[in-house]
Amino acid sequence: MNIILKLLLVIVVTVCPGISFSANQSEKIPVIYSTDLFHPHDDPDDHFDIVTLYSIPEIDLRAVILDQGAKQDKRPGRIPIQQLNHLLGRDVPYGIGLSRPLANALDPGYGELKKYQKGVKLIINVLREAAKPVTIITVGSMRDIAAAYNREPALFNRKVEKLLIFIGDAQGAFREHNVKLDPIAYARVMNSGLPVFWVPSFDGGLWQNNGNASFWRAKQVDLLEGISSPMINFFVYALLKKNEEDHMGFLYRKIPKTEKQYILKGIRNLWCTAIFTFITKRGFVQRGEDWFALGESEIQSGETIEKIFTFSPVSVFVDNNGKEWLEDSTRSRKIQRFKILKMEAYAHAMTSVTRHLLEELDR
């Protein structure tokens, strides 16, 4: 019987090569992703972030939460999600989040319109249905995560593996943009006792990075030069704030050379992309001038994994104004904070890893 089954499997794979029998499907990491992704954009780093998440096959993207409710009505982040789902043959669900800042630390957000409840409901449904703990990544406000936690704290305690949050200032030097969106929600999550992995946007003030923030800058040519035409069109559509009725058809259109050249000349502020690999088993490896985030089977004999960044424990309390207080006290919570280990290599390594992750989309 075993021999017959094996022969049938060989026949199916041979005749139907598009069918994939992935032995490691169960090893994929379920992820909920909350983002302030808009079109037209506030900052197109969010487009680089979402494409990078799609590019990492170990990540099972279960849901995208589109931050800041009413703003999504006018500048829908669903457009880039629909484009990526179409281009990559995916069906990642998305939901618009709450529109107003939380009124207090225990606010579950029930008072908002039904159309703005979809994000919170999607978070809760994914957690309930997940067979194993889920990683939550946030790159905007903490509003929908905090409201979902307020509705289902026991579910979060049981089903959240990690909360990887990109927000704030490592020294509490000022209120960073994502904090300002909903300081009470930020405080709620940071003070919750959940497994928070904190990636401060800045360290020591606006545009400052003294080693405990993720911020770096990259030339867009160094990020995009090697990717396929449909994906270049995706970035042209996003970065140039195109407003086409057929936003799917635009992906296959021949675009003017000047438009591609224009976006390749740009400089991009980045905070996230390559750091997403932290939740996987990939390690950073240098080959010549290039850096790659590779799985164990891809690392060649003699190559070593270089730790460009890590996370280290820190005690912190966040007040309802969104200010971070680094203190060891009864009100503080022990969390993990981002730390750069090789500052001199950091920006180049992160840019190079991001580029090669984006290139994986064409494999």
> What does the pLDDT profile of the chain (363 residues) look like in tens digits?
444 444 344 333 333 333 333 336 678 999 999 999 989 888 889 999 999 999 999 999 999 999 988 889 998 999 999 999 999 999 999 999 999 999 999 999 999 999 999 999 999 999 999 999 999 999 999 999 999 999 999 999 999 999 999 999 999 989 999 999 999 999 999 999 999 999 999 999 999 999 999 999 999 999 998 898 899 999 999 999 998 889 999 999 999 999 999 999 999 999 999 999 999 999 999 999 999 999 999 999 999 999 999 999 999 999 999 999 999 999 999 999 999 999 999 999 999 999 999 998 876
Closest CA to 199 of 163, 165, 175: 165
**Does 11 reside within a domain?**
no
Closest CA to 322 of 190, 208, 212: 190
Q: What is the CA radius of gyration of the chain?
A: 21
Query: What residues form DSSP beta bridges with 196?
Result: 163
Ordered DSSP codes for 123-181: HHHHHHH-SS-EEEEESS-SHHHHHHHHH-HHHHHHHEEEEEEE-SBTT--S--HHHHH
pLDDT confidence of residue 285:
98
Would you give the DSSP letter of residue 345?
Answer: H
pLDDT confidence of residue 205:
96
Ordered DSSP codes for 2-35: HHHHHHHHHHHHHH-TT----TTGGGSEEEEEEE
**Does 10 reside within a domain?**
no
**Does 14 reside within a domain?**
no
- Specify the DSSP element, H or E, that contains 61: strand 59-66
Per the structure, the count of domains in the chain is 1
pLDDT confidence of residue 27:
86
**Does 9 reside within a domain?**
no
Give 232's contacts (C-beta < 8 A, 6+ positions apart): 224, 255, 260
pLDDT confidence of residue 112:
95
pLDDT confidence of residue 96:
97
Which two structure tokens, joined as six digits, stand for 242? Answer: 């195109």
**Does 1 reside within a domain?**
no
Name the one residue in this structure whose structure tokens are 């309802």.
Answer: 320
Would you give the DSSP letter of residue 202?
Answer: B
pLDDT confidence of residue 9:
40
For 116, phi then psi, to 5°, come to -95, 5
Query: 339: domain range?
Result: 28-362
pLDDT confidence of residue 42:
85
**pTM for this prediction:** 0.92
Three-class SS of residue 113? coil
* CATH number of the domain within which 49 lies: 3.90.245.10
Alpha carbon separation from 276 to 35, 264, 281, 305, 349 (Å, rounded): 14, 23, 11, 17, 14
Q: How far apart are CA 123 and CA 136, in angstroms?
A: 9
Q: Is residue 144 within 8 Å of residue 121, measured between CB atoms?
A: no
Q: What sign does the dihedral 173-174-177-179 (CA atoms) show? A: positive
Q: Cβ-count burial of 21 within 10 angstroms (0-12 exposed, 13-18 middle, 19+ buried)? A: exposed
Cis peptide before 30 (omega within 30 of 0): no
